[in-house]
Amino acid sequence: MRYKLGLVYIGVLASLVAPVLAQEQSAAPEAAVPTLGFAPTATPGEFSFDTGALRGVLRQGGASIGLVPMEHVPTGIPLSKSPGILDHYRVFTTNHRYGESARSLPSESKLLPDGSLEVHWPSAEDRPYEITSTFRWRDAATADLQVEVQATMDLPDFEVFLASYCSERFPATSVYVKQAGDTGKPGFVIAEKESGPWQVFPRDAKASDIIKDGRWTIPPNPVDWAVMPEIAAPLAFRREPSTGIVAMVMAPPQESFAVFTPCRDDPHCSMYLALFGQTLKNGETARAHVRFAIAVNPTDDQVVTYYQDYLKEMGEKPKL
């Protein structure tokens, strides 16, 4: 009888415990599923992402900044620092800068049905342009950006200066130039300290004229850029030495007229692309495209091949 009562007791206990366990299991938070899209967080105007390869936030705190924080999921290595990757920094026309920084200008964000994110900077009396930028994931390690500008008055030599701030794990920028060293051939050169603290690699003579038209003499934070060899393409990267992780930025040749960077070991750890570099008439619309991508241990030649594939994807014919 004791044996039978024991069985009954155990059966009753199991019947009481099982629902509780089921409730606890159903209440347990599910692990985030990697997806190629952005999702709103509890903070208004802020969006998270987890592609499986990259994880982080866009517009942290609802601010007009880029992808930060962002980490490489397989290694846990931080990829960016504030104000982030693909950060809209400055807006210029000839010898004129609009505000101190685009980060301080009001902007609105909208999540699109495909998971991409649209950010809009409206025009104002002191900002005769509208900018609409769309961030989307091309794949788990690749973010694409389209920047569209509409002029509300004539804008001579208009420029959007796009910044990407890597973490301190990425100490130096390599830039793809027409003639690398004594080879006389296209290749990558590293922005070393002996060439100056701040360096610019223009596309051509016209680009150099735009850079030197006075727009960079305006306080606060004027910059005296050391003009370096001309780029073979708007393509640059930073490499994390211990893992070989490479952070690349690139754009089609006609849509970016220069690559800017501080020298090796400068604490900014940044790369910049100068977009547009063209005069827009009142009512005219123009678009520029930028890609940020992560690769592990690529050779220089493989980075160039990646860029060539990007141009083909954009409908461009590579001329490298």
- Distance between CA atoms of residues 53 and 263, nearest Å: 29
DSSP helix/strand/coil, 28: coil
Answer for the pair 275, 159: CB distance below 8 angstroms, yes or no.
Answer: yes
DSSP output for 206-240: HHHHHHTSSGGGSSSS---PEE-PPEEEEEEEEE-
**Phi, psi at 186, each rounded to 5°:** -60, 145
Name which of 45, 166, 171, 185 is nearest 117 in CA terms.
45
How distant, in Å, are the alpha carbons of 66, 237, 247, 284, 313 from that of 165? 9, 11, 10, 31, 26
Give the full edge-to-edge strand order of the sheet including 54-58.
35-40, 47-50, 54-58, 67-72, 77-78
pTM (2 d.p.): 0.89
Q: Does residue 78 have a cis peptide bond before it, meaning omega lies within 30 degrees of 0?
A: no
Name which of 228, 250, 224, 240 is nearest 177 in CA terms.
228
In this structure, what token pair is assigned to residue 283? 């009512």
Name which of 288, 273, 289, 292 is nearest 161 in CA terms.
273
- Torsion sign across C-alpha atoms 92, 94, 98, 100: positive
DSSP output for 233-280: EEEEEEE-TTT-EEEEEE--GGGEEEEEEEPTT-TT-EEEEEEEEEEE
What does the pLDDT read at residue 316? 82
Name which of 161, 32, 56, 44 is nearest 110 in CA terms.
44
Answer for the pair 151, 75: CB distance below 8 angstroms, yes or no.
Answer: no
What does the pLDDT read at residue 32? 62
Query: Rg (Cα) of the chain, in Å, rounded?
Result: 24
Answer for the pair 177, 184: CB distance below 8 angstroms, yes or no.
Answer: no
Alpha helices in the chain (DSSP H): 2-27, 205-211, 300-313
Instruction: Say which DSSP state 193 is in.
Output: G
- Distance between CA atoms of residues 127 and 270, nearest Å: 26
> In 10 A of CB 206, how many CB atoms?
13
What does the pLDDT read at residue 34? 85
**Based on the number of CB atoms within 10 Å of its own CB, is 317 exposed (0-12), middle (13-18) or buried (19 or more)?**
exposed
- Residues of the chain below pLDDT 70: 1-32, 319-320
- Domains, in order of start, for the chain: 83-313 (2.70.98.30)
Of the chain, the end-to-end C-alpha distance in Å amounts to 90
